[in-house]
Amino acid sequence: MVDSVSPPKINGELSAMVQRALANRAHLARAATLRDSMLLMVLAGVWAFFYFATDGTFLTQRNLLLLALQTSIVSLAAISAVMLIVTRNFDLSVGSAVAFVGVILALLTVKYDVNPWISVIAAVSGGVAMGVWQGLWVARIGVSSFIVTLAGMLYFRGLSMIATNGATVAPLPDALTDLATGFLSPALSISLIVVFLGGYLALRISELNRARSLGLAPQFGADLFSATLPAAVATVVGIWIVSRQGIPYLVLLVAICATAAELLMRRTRYGARLYAIGGNPEAARLSGINVKQAIFWNFVIAGFGYGITGVALTARVSGAIGGTAGLFLELDAIAAAIIGGTSLSGGRGRVIGALLGALLMGSLNNGMSLMNVPTFYQNTARGVVLLLAVAIDHIGRARRFGR
């Protein structure tokens, strides 16, 4: 009699049976691809429209860089919004928290003449502390994140006003302002993009290699091609855009944060935990996942996001305006995440989608401004786009599940 079941062993060499079974699964593709490509198509349609409506101004290198810059703050906030919504949590406090971080940075540098870099570290630490604070209320005490962050939205804004007495604190030292408004030289930018593409491809190839060594990817060439093509297209477009002015440092920051977040969400155990918690908290708990701890760190990461976003925003406008900095940022971030396919009921959502969502909203703003459409109309259009995006997602998903 066998003592107990020995789990199947896989050491590089997999049984021929597994290989055969997996060889029949032609697709390494994900179900989400369709949705992502739909978002891309909508984006392409919007861009084409603005291209003709602005006599080509919209699709110039100059304007696309401006668009990327305009989108950067919302993109930063959208990254942590995705991570929280995936676990069925909300963050309504982003805008106020970002303003408060800005106030810390501005007061330290302008009023107390602290070294700019030490001030940045202090400001980011302040953001992390806010994340820890909110995480404790949600994970330890069990108050719903909606309430905790709604309260945060109010008192972080209030504290920003109290600390500055409602006045603008400006201007920031040039070192910081330059960073937010500066560009990497075109040559360096292009090489960086190429290195980034190289890194991405190396990662894909290493994963495909690994899959092949385990007998999982018989059509190596096809898989590599489908992974490479979009990246190559994006690289070419990217190189064209930056070839004149280079990459703005701020956009570089977004790219770094998004890559880190994407890796964390898609390629670490912690990320898998977040998706599981959002998808089915009970299943997650029964699998031995420490749900409270994961949620707590979720907020700490969001706090780090406040820090980064706050510093970036404050440096960009070269000063802290306690009352209005980051106003409605939380709503823009949530909207971007949702347009990008993040499900409000949890368990679904990707950082890359949220960036596209932010880009779509940013494109509408930018394009309509170029067309001299009044602000009121801009808001209306953004609202309609948000509604349509979510409705299309809902209908598409309902059809896929046969309902």
Partner 1 sequence: MTGDVAPAGSAQDADRPFSKWAMVAGHLTKSFPGVRALDDVSVSIYAGEIAALLGQNGAGKSTLIQVMSGFHPAGSYSGRIELGGNDYRPADTAAAEQAGVVLVPQEVSVVSQMSVAENICLNAEPTRWGFVDVSLRLAKAQAALLDFELDVDPHREMGSLDLATQQLIVIARALSKNLKLLILDEPTAALTERESLRLFDRIRTLRARGVASIFVSHRLSEVFSISDRIIVMRDGHIRGDHVTNEVSRADVVAEMLGHARVETQSRPARRAGDAALEVRRLTVFDESAEHRVKVDGLSLAVAKGEVVGLYGLLGSGCVEAALAIYGAWRGVVDAEIAVLGDPVSVAGPPQAIALGLGLMAQDRRDCLIQDQSILDNMMMATIAKGIGLQSLDIAERRRLAISLMKTLRIKAESVDAEMRTLSGGNQQKVQIGRWLAAGAQILILVDPTRGVDVGARGEINRIWSRLSENGHAILIASSDAEELVDVCHRVIVMRNGRKVGELSGATLNEKELLRMAADG
Interacting residues toward partner 1 by CB under 8 A = 1-8, 10, 14-15, 17-18, 21-22, 25, 27-28, 30-31, 207, 210-211, 214-217, 263, 266-269, 271-273, 275-276, 278-280, 282-284, 286-289, 343, 347-348, 400-403
CA 226 to chain centre: 23
Considering the complex, state which of residue 217 and residue 351 has its C-beta at the smaller distance from partner 1: 217
Using the minimum distance from each CB to partner 1, give the nearer residue, 179 or 337.
337
**Spatial contact of 284 and 273, defined as CB atoms under 8 Å apart:** yes
Kindly report the number of other CB atoms within 10 A of residue 226's CB atom. Answer: 15
Q: In whole angstroms, how close is the CB of 14 to partner 1 at the nearest point?
A: 6
Tell me how far apart the alpha carbons of residues 354 and 229 are, in angstroms, rounded to a whole number: 21
Instruction: Identify which of residues 345 and 372 has a Cβ nearer to partner 1 in the complex.
Output: 345
d(CA 355, CA 262): 11
Smallest gap, in angstroms, from Cβ of residue 187 to partner 1? Answer: 32
Tell me how far the alpha carbon of residue 80 is from its chain's centroid. 6
**Distance from C-alpha of 262 to C-alpha of 275, rounded to nearest angstrom:** 13
Could you tell me the CA-to-CA distances from 347 to 87, 199, 235, 282, 385 in Å, in that order? 6, 28, 30, 13, 23
Nearer to partner 1, 24 or 165 (CB): 24
CB-nearer residue toward partner 1: 21 or 384: 21
- Residue 166 CB, shortest distance to partner 1, in Å, is 41
Question: Residue 232 contacts by C-beta under 8 Å, 6 or more apart in sequence?
Answer: 197
CB 350, min distance to partner 1, A = 12
Nearer to partner 1 (CB atom), residue 13 or residue 178? 13
Q: Which two tokens stand for residue 117?
A: 């870099």
CB of 36 to partner 1, least distance (A): 16
- Nearest CA-CA partner of 234 in 182, 188, 183, 194: 194
Closer residue to partner 1 (CB): 129 or 204 = 204
One DSSP character per residue, 34-72 reads HHHHHHHHHHHHHHHHHHHHTTTSTTSHHHHHHHHHHHH
Task: Rank residues 57 and 280 by Cβ distance to partner 1 and give the closer one.
Answer: 280
Least Å from the CB of residue 269 to partner 1: 5
Report yes or no: 324 and 69 within 8 Å, Cβ to Cβ: no
Nearer to partner 1, 186 or 271 (CB): 271
Least Å distance, CB 227 to partner 1, is: 13
Which stretches of 107-219 are DSSP H helices?
116-135, 145-164, 174-181, 186-213
Nearest distance from C-beta of residue 5 to partner 1, angstroms: 5
For 145, other C-beta atoms within 10 Å of its C-beta total 26
In angstroms, give the least distance from the CB of 138 to partner 1: 21
Separation of alpha carbons 35 and 45, rounded Å: 15
